[in-house]
């Protein structure tokens, strides 16, 4: 099977940072996309920005996963006539008041409704789920170096710990328990479709989703923009690993068809480590960060640390990862050209 054998793919979170790149990859192959969004207006803005592929995308309105009640399933109609699903939508908001109700349960319920609905459409061959390195990382193992996280590793956080934690840790729980929901569904319900999950670390890169002003960039890219503007002190990343959004999106689409990806869990990441110091240096060295005035360390710019099993993604899915330099420069050149509130 080849990707172009897919006639229509349902994409959730397609108006978001990662999902939009996934949608564009599908469209570039001539594959029809049903774009599930909580906002038809946002979905329409996305479609209008791509006049040449307007006929290939249709918007489908869904409810916020936070407000799903009982057996309500907004995806029963959304799956009709699709032969694959890429589920990228998940809440990510570190300012929530109730982490269980606003982060953890909605992430799990989102998976539940998508998978329950998928059972009703016999044409669906595969579901690809965007999980996160947050569902893999075991903080008790420390920063490394000396070990490599693979798709066999799971964050040991319990549900009880997650609901009592601050939003950053609770988000890690939301991704772990949402992904587990998907794997348990496959194990217990034996559907005719299979599953591929991706557990990406920090994701950076140029944007293709609707962003009106540079101040509205997604969280990971907003940090790069803060550095460009001269934030001091520089932020310190919680993890030394990252992936370019373009590589991650391509991996999702290739995973729809690669036979050996069936029921596999991948940790897509660049072979290079990163730090925000390195991002700042790359901006400065390339004349993109005239506001970066602080003295950068000359040594230890790239932290030592644990590795991620990027090689399996390269081998199984044929992904060649962008360099951090390309990612930073491509992103900053684009962000500079976005309108600003000021
Ligand atoms: N960005 C990263 O660094 C990173 C790293 C690892 C994993 N991830 C994972 O990658 C996926 C996509 O992330 P992203 O960075 O592209 O995020 P994003 O830009 O915020 O996009 C996520 C999309 O999900 C939908 N969504 C969010 N909350 C929802 C809710 N409560 N109910 C229903 N839909 C909701 C939204 O679509 P509508 O507004 O159109 O409904 C939103 O555009 C997520 O699963 C995230 O956990 C991201």
Residue ranges and CATH numbers for the domains of the chain are 3-206+240-269+308-319 (3.40.50.720)
Checking if the pLDDT of 2 tops 90, the result is no
Q: Is 151 in the pocket of ligand 1 (CB under 6 A)?
A: no
The predicted structure's pLDDT at residue 296: 77
Checking if the pLDDT of 271 tops 80, the result is yes
The predicted structure's pLDDT at residue 297: 78
Distance CA 93, CA 212 (A): 20
Q: Is 132 in the pocket of ligand 1 (CB under 6 A)?
A: yes
Ligand 1 centroid to 16 CA: how many Å? Answer: 6
Contact 273, 240 (CB under 8 A): yes
Checking if the pLDDT of 272 tops 90, the result is yes
The predicted structure's pLDDT at residue 88: 98
Listed residue (159, 157, 162, 158) closest to 138, CA to CA: 157
Checking if the pLDDT of 69 tops 90, the result is no
Checking if the pLDDT of 292 tops 90, the result is no
Strand partners for 194? 126
Ligand 1 centroid to 88 CA: how many Å? Answer: 6
Virtual torsion, Cα 262, 153, 144, 297, nearest 10 deg: 50
Q: Is 305 in the pocket of ligand 1 (CB under 6 A)?
A: no
Ligand 1 centroid to 10 CA: how many Å? Answer: 15
The predicted structure's pLDDT at residue 3: 72
Checking if the pLDDT of 1 tops 90, the result is no
Distance CA 13, CA 38 (A): 9
Nearest-atom index, ligand 1, CA of 18: 16
Q: Contacts for 110-114 with beta carbons within 8 Å, 24 or more apart?
A: 110/12, 110/65, 110/178, 111/87, 111/178, 111/179, 111/181, 111/182, 111/185, 112/181, 112/185, 113/65, 113/68, 113/72, 113/73, 113/74, 113/75, 114/12, 114/75, 114/85, 114/87
Higher pLDDT, 224 or 288: 224
Task: Among 16, 64, 149, say which to mutate for ligand 1: greatest number of ligand atoms within 8 Å of CB.
Answer: 16
First to last CA, the chain: 50
Q: Is 13 in the pocket of ligand 1 (CB under 6 A)?
A: yes
**Atom 38 (ligand 1): residue with closest C-alpha?**
37
Environment class of 2 (CB within 10 Å of its CB; exposed 0-12, middle 13-18, buried 19+): exposed
The predicted structure's pLDDT at residue 109: 96
Nearest-atom index, ligand 1, CA of 220: 3
Q: Is 15 in the pocket of ligand 1 (CB under 6 A)?
A: yes
Percent over 70 (pLDDT), the chain? 99
Contact 255, 125 (CB under 8 A): no
Residue 93 — pLDDT band, cuts 50, 70, 90?
Answer: confident
Contact 266, 199 (CB under 8 A): yes
Q: Is 25 in the pocket of ligand 1 (CB under 6 A)?
A: no
Q: What is the pLDDT of residues 142-198, one digit of tens each?
A: 999 999 999 999 999 999 999 999 999 999 999 999 999 999 999 999 999 999 999
Q: Is 203 in the pocket of ligand 1 (CB under 6 A)?
A: yes
Checking if the pLDDT of 249 tops 80, the result is yes
Distance CA 17, CA 205 (A): 9
**Atom 29 (ligand 1): residue with closest C-alpha?**
91
């Amino acid at each position: 099977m080849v990707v172009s054998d897919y006639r229509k793919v349902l994409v959730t979170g397609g108006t978001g940072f990662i999902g939009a790149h996934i949608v564009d990859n599908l469209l570039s192959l001539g594959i029809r996309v049903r774009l599930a969004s909580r906002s038809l207006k946002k979905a329409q803005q996305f479609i209008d920005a791509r006049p040449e592929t307007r006929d290939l995308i249709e918007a489908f309105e869904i409810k916020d996963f936070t407000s799903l009640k009982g057996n309500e399933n907004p995806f029963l109609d959304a799956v009709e006539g699709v032969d694959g699903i890429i589920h990228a939508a998940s809440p990510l908001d570190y300012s929530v008041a109730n982490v269980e109700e606003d982060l953890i349960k909605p992430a799990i319920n989102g998976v539940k409704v998508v998978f329950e609905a998928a059972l009703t459409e016999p044409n669906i061959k595969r579901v690809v789920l965007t999980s996160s390195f947050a569902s893999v990382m075991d903080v008790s193992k420390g920063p490394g170096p000396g070990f490599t996280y693979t798709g066999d590793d799971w964050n040991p956080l319990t549900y009880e710990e997650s609901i009592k934690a601050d939003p950053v840790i609770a988000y890690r729980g939301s991704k772990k328990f949402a992904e587990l929901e998907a794997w348990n569904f496959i194990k217990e319900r034996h559907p005719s479709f299979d599953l591929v999950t991706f557990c990406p670390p920090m994701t950076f890169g140029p944007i293709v989703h609707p962003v009106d002003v540079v101040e509205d960039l997604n969280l990971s890219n907003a940090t790069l923009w803060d550095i460009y503007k001269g934030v001091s002190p520089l932020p310190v990343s919680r993890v030394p690993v990252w992936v370019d959004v373009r590589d991650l999106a391509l991996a999702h689409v290739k995973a729809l068809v690669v036979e050996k990806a069936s029921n596999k869990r991948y940790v897509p990441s660049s072979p290079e480590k990163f730090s925000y110091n390195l991002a700042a240096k790359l901006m400065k060295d390339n004349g993109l960060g005239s506001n970066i005035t602080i003295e950068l360390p000359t040594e230890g710019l790239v932290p030592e640390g644990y590795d991620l099993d990027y090689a399996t993604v390269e081998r199984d899915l044929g992904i060649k990862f962008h360099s951090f330099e390309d990612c930073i420069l491509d992103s900053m050149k684009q962000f500079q050209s976005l309108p600003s509130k000021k």
